[in-house]
Copies of this chain bind each other. A is one copy, B any other.
Amino acid sequence: MTYCAALGLKDGMVFASDTRTNAGVDHISTFRKMYTYGIEGERSIVLQTAGSLATSQAVFTRLQNAIAQRAEHNLLTVLTLFDAAEMVGKLVREIITKAEDLANDSTSGTFGSTFMLGGQIKGQQTELYMIYPEGNCIRASEDTPFFQLGESKYGKPILDRSVNYDIDLHHAAQAMMLSFDSTIRSNLSVGMPIDMVIYKADSFKLPSIRRIRENDDYFSDLSKYWSDALRNTLLGLPDYPEDYWQ
């Protein structure tokens, strides 16, 4: 499986993806599931994926080739992020349809991949999209400022409780790390390293991926601090009234 999450906030965006892929528990590998695109000072785009690795890699490769070959429409030339999301959606559909035709299997959903695309183009707001295997997409809003992909349930409570549109990027990044920490502890199919990007609104900086590995001092400290705090909080909870269980 996979766990990816992206936060679209007032101050900017936070993206994180794990890197574990598995075909059965005895076939586990590490693959990048996050790619970045941009023109310094003009646009900054992050693309994440979960689902069929073959489909996802084909999409990334086609997007990359379009840029390398200076195709008329590529991620560095599209006018809006909505156009970028639609471009990815169209590509996903093409690749899935081709794979289904080849395998003569259009019902199993084996080839499905879902994407999240976020970032900013000069003169426009930051935007975050979820792009479905069907090719269509939805946009995050102030009411629903984050999206998750894959093994999302373990890490959802902490985001639900702590992330809102107005949270600053520093604390948002910490909440994101703890959401991943919770998921990794509870589910074997999500694993380190974690790829993470923080994008500050209106910075138009090329996004750079920080790869957080198992021996990352700060991540380990954060995880330990959080665990200890939870344990202490649990020990300090208000007692229930004496007659509560009668």
Copies in the complex: 2
Q: List 22 A-B contacts (CB under 8 A).
A: A153-B186, A157-B158, A157-B182, A157-B183, A158-B230, A161-B231, A162-B230, A174-B234, A178-B234, A208-B245, A208-B246, A210-B244, A218-B240, A218-B244, A221-B238, A225-B238, A226-B233, A226-B237, A229-B236, A230-B230, A230-B233, A233-B233
The contact string, 1 if C-beta is below 8 Å from chain B, for chain A 191-203, is: 0000000100000
Q: A183: nearest residue on chain B (CB-CB)?
A: B157
The interface residues of chain B lying within 8 Å CB-to-CB of A160 are: 185-186
The interface residues of chain B lying within 8 Å CB-to-CB of A173 are: 240
Does the CB pair A222–B234 fall under 8 Å?
Answer: no
* A23 on interface, CB distance cutoff 8 Å: no
Q: A178: nearest residue on chain B (CB-CB)?
A: B234
* A235 on interface, CB distance cutoff 8 Å: yes
* A170 on interface, CB distance cutoff 8 Å: yes
Given A161-B185, A170-B239, A227-B161: A234 touches B156 (CB 8 Å cut-off) = no
8 Å CB contacts to B: which residues of A133-187? 153-158, 160-162, 170-171, 173-175, 178, 182-183, 185-187
The interface residues of chain B lying within 8 Å CB-to-CB of A246 are: 208
Known: A208-B245, A222-B238, A229-B236. 4 other contacts (CB 8 A): A158-B230, A208-B246, A218-B240, A229-B229
